[in-house]
Amino acid sequence: MQAPLGSVLREVVRELRERKWSCLIVFMLVSAIGLLVGMFWPHQYSASVTIYIDDQNIITPLMKGSAVQAKSKDKVAEATEIILGRKSLGRLVDYIEVSQQKEFDEAQREREILRLRSAIKIRKKGKQFFEITYTDRKPDVAFLVTQKIGQLFLEVQEENRREESRNAYAFVDKQVKAYQSQLSQSEERLRQFLTQNADGTESGVQNKISQLKSQIELAELQLEELVSQRESIAKQLRGVNASISNKVVSDKNNERIKALEDRLEVLQLSYHDSYPDIVALKKQIEGIVEESKNNKGKSTGEEETVSYENPLYVELSSQRAKTETAIIAVKTRIDSLNNLLNKTMLRMEKVQQNKAELAELTRDTDVNRNIYNDLLRRRETARVSMHLSSEGQGVTYAVHDPAVYPLKPKGPQFIHFALASILLGALAPIGLAGVYVQLDPRIRDASTIQENIGIPVLATIGKVTTPREHRKERFKTIVIFIIGGCFVTLYLVVGWLKYTGVINA
């Protein structure tokens, strides 16, 4: 039965006194096991190399915008990919085979690669540094392999950067040639289309249609004016006689008057009465008439009726004929313009039909040309980047702190095992006694009955030890202390020999 907390320590001491041999055996067993574990504990030696990342050299600002320089946001992740990659680890295994004079088959090689991946640790140190650490049971192996890891990282990183630059340039150059071919094909298709469809542009045809419509409107207005002029002339012709009959005296004055009047009528068709020639003719006619009146009694001529074509009628008829001719010419011109307009409208329809195809061909050509020009610029950028990589410029890595030969193993040392084992051996019996007291179902104290069962205890009878038993118990204690002292002495001697290197396990 579980003892009360107040009596646990007393019961533990009682158990330790009653089980002295058991306590000694537990102490010796735990201490010896701990010492043996410390003697045969595999030591691990670690060596590390620190790499410096230089991404702020003088080339960076000079070549900004002209070259693409490889930059990784996480340098530790980039280094981890390179160092733990199959390429680097494969070379490291080759180095181990040569340095340790071993030969690995495929299975052993794979196991060695897995072991190296677990033994290599990479961590970041500040913004511009990271550390590579390798752990092995042999200090010389840890030192040499760590040195080799740093060298391999620099070599593989440089190779990867140059290969990346070359691959990027080769890819861009291939794309440039491909788009150059596409651009040539697009330009050839556009040229053939424009050659086969030489109908002009939409704006040009639209301007031509506008010009034709304007010409047709002007011709129609001119036609209306001619028709109106023809009707006016026809109206004038209806009021004018075709011939003129006059009774005249057949003498020279009448003939002169007749000639002057004919001339006057012709001038009046084109000029006003105030025109100088018309005024002069009238005065001349009046003078001849006045002269005829004065010579009337002297005249020997005879009167007769004379008929002749009316000059006004003749002139109006001529103008009507000219107007008819002009009307026919204007109508012919209007018909020609309408035919030309119809052809132009058909041409516009064809231009509209070809507009979509022309736009698509032009768009394809422009897109291919823009991409081609952009790729040309990128190819030159890739060329400069490739030259920078071949010259070792841009982001570079260098060994800042080389590997140092490890003098002490990492982790718990033998002295730690020795001290912890003897301390644990001393505490183990006490702990076991405490657990035994708590788990023992027997009643060890009167207070346990009163607290758990509720039965009052009137008195307790203690254990009575005889003088013989007391002497026997004292002898046992002395023997146990002698054995324990010898064990501790032997423990310390073995531990000292191991610590000083006399014993090499």
Domain boundaries, the chain: 5-39+421-500, 45-177+377-401, 205-365
pTM of this structure: 0.45
DSSP characters for 374-438? HHHHHHHHHHHHHHHHHTT-SSEEEEEE------S-BS--HHHHHHHHHHHHHHHHHHHHHHHHH
Any idea how long the chain is?
A: 505
Q: Is the model more confident about 156 or about 451?
A: 156
User: Are the C-beta atoms of 307 and 244 separated by less than 8 Å?
Assistant: yes
Residue 496 pLDDT = 82
CA distance 51 to 198: 70
Of residues 415 and 57, more confidently modeled: 415
Summary count for the chain: helices (H), strands (E): 14, 6
Q: Check whether 60 has a pLDDT greater than 50.
A: no
Going by C-alpha positions, the residue among 391, 367, 352 that lies closest to residue 186 is 367
Alpha carbon 331 to chain centroid, angstroms: 68
Which of the following CATH numbers is that of domain 45-177+377-401: 3.30.70.1130, 3.90.1150.10, 3.40.50.300, 3.10.105.10? 3.30.70.1130
pLDDT at residue 300, rounded to an integer:
46
Share of the chain above pLDDT 90, in %: 2
- Position 19 pLDDT exceeds 70: yes
Q: What is the pLDDT of residue 343?
A: 87
Q: How far is CA 226 from CA 151, 223, 231, 235, 320, in A?
A: 106, 5, 9, 14, 10
Full 3-state SS string of 144-172: HHHHHHHHHHHHHHHHHHHHHHHHHHHHH
Residue 460 pLDDT more than 80? no
Predicted confidence (pLDDT) at residue 384 exceeds the cutoff of 80: no
Exposed e or buried b for every residue in 188-215, given b needs 16+ CB within 10 A?
Answer: eebeeeeeeeebeeeeebeebbeebeeb
Per-residue pLDDT, 296? 59
Instruction: Give 56 or 321, the one with higher predicted confidence.
Output: 321
Mean pLDDT of 51-69: 53
Phi and psi of 59, rounded to 5°? -70, -30
**How would residue 66 be classed by pLDDT, with cut points 50, 70 and 90?**
very low
What whole-number distance in Å separates Cα of residue 286 and Cα of residue 290? Answer: 6
How much of the chain is helix, strand and coil, in % rounded to 5? 70, 10, 20
pLDDT tens digits, residue range 185-239? 888 887 887 777 666 667 777 888 889 889 999 988 988 988 888 888 888 877 7
At 452 the pLDDT is 64
Instruction: Tell me the pLDDT band of 339, cut-offs 50, 70 and 90.
Output: very high
Torsion of CA 381, 386, 390, 395, to 10 degrees: 70
The total of other beta-carbon atoms located within 10 Å of residue 386's CB is: 21
Which of 230, 247, 462 is closest to 325 using CA atoms? 230
Q: Which of 245, 267, 249 is nearest to 257 (CA)?
A: 249
Identify the DSSP state of 5.
G
Mean pLDDT of the 118-138 span = 85
Strands (E), 71-188: 120-125, 129-136
Phi, psi dihedrals of residue 401, rounded to the nearest 5°: -120, 110
d(CA 149, CA 90): 11
280-289, 373-382, 443-452, 459-468: which has the minimum mean pLDDT? 443-452
DSSP string, 282-309: HHHHHHHHHHHHHTTTT----EEEEEEE
Q: Which of 19-28, 94-103, 460-469 has the lowest mean pLDDT?
A: 460-469
